[in-house]
Structure 1
């Protein structure tokens, strides 16, 4: 599979951005719910879900347009009647991957619309998008490029792990362990796609790594494990930052209920109707 560094970096940035966002959002939401077991999803949280879906759909659509309309792209032409051959199937390969993430973003938006879609459909669509991504990489013809096949096989491990988590979340909604593992798989996918770009198409030019050197296979397998260790460190750092943010908000607002969404402290309405925070009227003193 011919790979360009910019294309691999673009796909890696898309997946890493999702992972970084979730690595902040999910710990904050978990800490808020853990501090108030009776809390319910607020309007702000639902708007955040819609915004997340819109951003995902926007970047997926942008990815499709980039893959199709770069100078070497197929420009939406799948088959050439002049040469009687398929047109730039590698670009169509990645366009198909982005297409299912676009559908996932649309379902995210529709899930919080008046359509009242079934609960869990958004996670199911995300699992489908990841399964399609994994299948595209697993069953592509790598010819004699053994190193390419090894790199994308390692990537498929992260993809299918994320797909399994997303599928389980259809039935175990808002499960922090599953969400954390899915987040780590997206961070791993993103950083590994950057690594693939450096290995197969270095940005400084020149040929990629030697396809016949078996020591490269051993090193890159070990490097894949290091990438996952880095993803776990990012998760740990963001979780620690979320905890500090949660504690600072509690110290600042005292007994006032605080909702943490997108790292911001928002004052909620007082649950009780006794007016404890309001000054007593003079007539009540009599």
Structure 2
């Protein structure tokens, strides 16, 4: 069983990284489509380069802080009970494994970019990021905390979004010049962050569906019909988030094209218009 804070914290990290990825991908593409390359992380411009690696620091430090909360604070260091792994904290240990992988990705990327000890191409960093997403996927798919009913449905939708993160990141390693792939990666990460928020507010906050309730760390519904209505509401919530993100992406593209659009971009659009007319 999770908690409101336990979903909001990782959701915030994914949301910040995803939104920044979308904006950076759009700006880099409209700036010069011919030189566009997929990036698994995006530097922050300006400030004399002092914030260039802010995204990687956010991933590494954020994952490390969340790791410490799951591994040290939530477990109270009671890893063993009666000579075996403490069953009360297996979910915390699983979360720690997931967070460790994102911390390793952030650390490896920083070492690759800032030192000469681990020079890795962008494709390799994409595969390392995909490995972290894969561990997250396996965690939520084979969770020791059995997700059933409405709670299970919300986590099933989360697993689907994580799968989209894996596919888009892996594809980026093999199609390093594809703008749609890079943009899809940012959209998937953003949706994952938003869905963490949606799960927190629905299952552990004020948006609990009518006929369902949270009691003794369990989500229960008055009847099967109430549970089905909750699942239909989850479908509508996900659709609303997808639509909102797509509208925001189109808006960001329009803004970026008007401010940073390269002449090459206009020529590509002119060529495409000519092909459509033919």
Q: TM-score, length-normalised on structure 2?
A: 0.76
Who is 1:228 aligned against? 242
On the 8 A contact 1:110/1:117 being kept in 2, the answer is no
- 4+ residue segments displaced more than 6 Å: 43-49
Distance 2:3 2:104 in 1: 25
With 236-245 and 222-231 compared, the bigger mean Cα shift is at: 236-245
- Counterpart among 230, 242, 255 of residue 241 in structure 1: 255
SS at match of 2:247: helix
Distance 2:36 2:20 in 1: 25
* Alignment CA distance shift 1:144-1:183 (3 Å): closer
Distance 1:83 1:169 in 2: 42
Equivalent residues, number: 243
Who is 2:148 aligned against? 145
What does 1:8-157 align with in structure 2 at a 5 Å threshold? 8-34=7-33, 37=35, 50-70=53-73, 73-81=74-82, 85-112=86-113, 113-115=115-117, 116-143=119-146, 145-157=148-160
Distance 2:14 2:70 in 1: 16
Q: Which has the higher helix share?
A: 2
Distance 1:38 1:194 in 2: 32
Deviation at 1:203, TM superposition (A): 5.7
Q: Which runs of 5+ in 2 are unaligned?
A: 264-278
Root-mean-square deviation (CA, aligned residues, Å) is 3.1
Q: TM-score, length-normalised on structure 1?
A: 0.74
Task: Give the structure with higher Rg (CA).
Answer: 1
* Alignment CA distance shift 1:203-1:7 (3 Å): farther
With 211-220 and 125-134 compared, the bigger mean Cα shift is at: 211-220
Deviation at 1:85, TM superposition (A): 3.4
SS at match of 1:16: helix
Distance 1:132 1:151 in 2: 19
